[in-house]
Amino acid sequence: MRSFHLLLAAAVAACAPATACFAQQPAHNVILFVADGLRPGMINDQTTPALAALLSNGVHFTNTHSMFPTFTMANAASMASGHKIGDTGEFSNTINAGFTVPGAGDSLTPFLESDPVLGDVDGHFAGDHLNQDTVMKSARAAGISTASIGKLGPTLIFDHTERSGEQTIVIDDSTGRPGGIPLSEAMKQRLQAAGVEPQAPTRGANAKAGDFQTPGTLEANAQQQDYFVAVATKVVLPLFKERAKPFMLVFWSRDPDGTQHNQGDSLNRLVPGINGPTSLAAMRNADNDLSALLAALRALGLEGTTDVIVTADHGFATVSKESATSFAATQSYKDVVAHHLPVGFVAIDIAHGLGKTLLDPDAKYQEVATGSHSLRGNGLVGGDQLHPEVVVAANGGSDLVYVPSGDQGLARKVIEILATQDYVSGLFVSDDLGPIPGTLPISAIDLKGSAVTPIPAIVVNFRTFSTGCADPLTCTVEVADTGLQQGQGMHGTFSRADTIILGGAIGPDFRKQFIDPAPTSNADIGKTMAAILRVQIRDTGTLVGRVLTEAMPNGKMPEWTVSRQASQPDAGGRRTLVQVQHVGEIRYFDAAGYPGRTVGLGGPESQQHASQ
């Protein structure tokens, strides 16, 4: 009797926040389609017809949010778990892991888009560096069929602790290659029977980033993604249909992200930037993949029982490498345009400002000599390889700075160096360092939670501006700490151009022809998938997303408010501002930075939105 009451209580609790309660029907299937770096302002009938049709026939989320730092792994972890970055500890694509990572060449600052690196980091943090069960892991445990297919890194994070290939099917760039997640014997046989190779193709010409004199790629990532589509449509979906039980499939399209980064349409010019023909071809490529998945659902008779959710991990912008204040930009380098910022400029500027040595964790900890930069922009400032005073993890539109000793005086010196740079727009500082004028605590942007990975001392957001088009969010430019050139593409800032993302859903659990103007985020995507699949997840931390019930039949539109928080001014009068939307206790961050240096940071001080 007691257990019955507990079960009943749990069922009621699960339904309570939602007018749509799933208890009486069998769970539907879920496909999460991620078009990496696809800006919502670029969706139209010509470039992306399948996405445009899905948004008009199903639910169109118009008030979407990437997690800041607006990078792939950070957002993949939030979608995968339903938790924000403060809980997952996936602070960016490149983090200070706090130990030398074998899969990253013994670097202290691994790039996480790697299956071996994710395995190493999990191993170091008690088997799960997110410290949180993912939706897919919980779904698998509940007997739901699971597969994750696409771009290396985010694909594995959805069920990263299952590396055998026997349970969740993982297909990424490394499939059939050293370091990849193995294929089960059954999968190998099915691939062969369907005429699909057991090894994923490389990106080929799409991987060409070019250099300061040579334009990058002019090709979308079609060949590799055609392979992923073939695996999904010819093997995985038919297998899941055969099993006749609910499934969860993630398809992570590297396009348009990879192509927008590398495109050679605009070398050293800000226009067309990421709006040239190569980037448009990449958007079309992602759209073709979605179209093929939807066609397979129809052909298999799964359309009526499958919910398809579409999102992007982050927005995108064109890269600027210009600064009038950076010491690093005054030096000359053999592979950088004169007076442009080299990759690693933050590490160089901090080392110069502190008068300390700079070591490169990605080049056997060699000293970075004057007139050179570290390989990937990461750097250890002062101290030695084992005891660096400052660690810089370079990422793109924002960087992470760590002060392992927790020395507040040192952190303040680094903040003084950064705050006077024209490329900075806002600084966020670990709460443990106490209030520091000109900065906001990381808890103000939900970066403080149950994370077990090292906590950044300072999150540095870079400046953004618009080149002046009708929708500034489609022609934003950002200073970026990257080896890519001015005119290529990047993301990672706290501008609205990087936080606003594609958002849509269609299927039996969603309304038809419905525009949802309420704030949504990638953490909400995780919680919504869990609700549809009816899997219970044990939450380690409290920084959770919400189930997007208003987008479901009979769901009620939530109320939300907008507010802005400002730091105390620093000695130069600079304040870090953040613009936030609130649904109950849940916060959505639109944009942040110094006034005038972040696209989308503006508008009225506070605004009330009534529910519809």
Q: Among 14, 58, 80, which Cα is nearest to 529's?
A: 80
Count of Cβ atoms closer than 10 Å to residue 371 Cβ: 10
CB of 37 to Zn ion, least distance (A): 5
Burial of residue 353 (CB within 10 Å: 0-12, 13-18, 19+) is middle
Give the footprint of Zn ion on residues 324-383 (CB under 5 A). Answer: none
CB of 335 to Zn ion, least distance (A): 21
Based on the shown chain and the rule CB under 5 A, indicate whether residue 113 belongs to the binding site for Zn ion: no
- Scanning 300-445, the segments in alpha helix (DSSP H) are 345-354, 408-419
Nearer of residues 183 and 317 to Zn ion, judged by Cβ: 317
Stretch that binds Zn ion, among 235-243, 257-265, 267-275, 436-444 (CB under 5 A): 257-265
CB of 72 to Zn ion, least distance (A): 5
Nearer of residues 120 and 257 to Zn ion, judged by Cβ: 257
Q: Among 559, 538, 327, 324, which Cα is nearest to 450's?
A: 538
CA distance 405 to 410: 9
CA distance 465 to 349: 22
Residue 548 identity (one-letter amino acid):
L
Nearer of residues 257 and 498 to Zn ion, judged by Cβ: 257
Torsion angle, alpha carbons of 180, 102, 351, 67, to 10: 40
Nearer of residues 71 and 589 to Zn ion, judged by Cβ: 71
CB of 313 to Zn ion, least distance (A): 8
CB of 200 to Zn ion, least distance (A): 19
Stretch that binds Zn ion, among 185-193, 250-258, 516-524, 528-536 (CB under 5 A): 250-258
If you search the block for the tokens 């800006």, which residue do you land on?
A: 39
CB of 570 to Zn ion, least distance (A): 31
Nearer of residues 154 and 441 to Zn ion, judged by Cβ: 154
CB of 252 to Zn ion, least distance (A): 12
CB of 557 to Zn ion, least distance (A): 33
Nearer of residues 257 and 478 to Zn ion, judged by Cβ: 257
CB of 54 to Zn ion, least distance (A): 23
CB of 261 to Zn ion, least distance (A): 6
Stretch that binds Zn ion, among 47-55, 134-142, 254-262, 436-444 (CB under 5 A): 254-262
Stretch that binds Zn ion, among 249-257, 326-334, 367-375, 585-593 (CB under 5 A): 249-257
| Count of residues that bind Zn ion according to CB under 5 A | 1
Residue at shortest CB range from Zn ion: 257
Contact 409, 398 (CB under 8 A): no
Nearer of residues 257 and 349 to Zn ion, judged by Cβ: 257
User: Considering Cα of 139, then 140, then 146, then 147, what sign does the dihedral take?
Assistant: positive
Contact 225, 195 (CB under 8 A): no
DSSP letter (8 states) at residue 569: P
Nearer of residues 343 and 552 to Zn ion, judged by Cβ: 343
Q: How many CA atoms lie within 13 A of 495 on its CB side?
A: 33
Per-residue contact flags (x/-) with Zn ion for residues 154 to 183, judged by CB under 5 A: ------------------------------
Nearer of residues 225 and 567 to Zn ion, judged by Cβ: 225
Nearer of residues 282 and 351 to Zn ion, judged by Cβ: 282
Residue 387 identity (one-letter amino acid):
H
Beta-bridge partner residues of 515: 60
* Spatial CB neighbours of 221, under 8 Å, sequence gap ≥ 6: 203, 206, 254, 255, 258, 259, 282, 285
Torsion angle, alpha carbons of 527, 314, 578, 436, to 10: 100
Select from 172, 257, 289, 498 the one that contacts Zn ion (CB under 5 A).
257
Query: Which residues contact Zn ion (rule: CB under 5 A)?
Result: 257
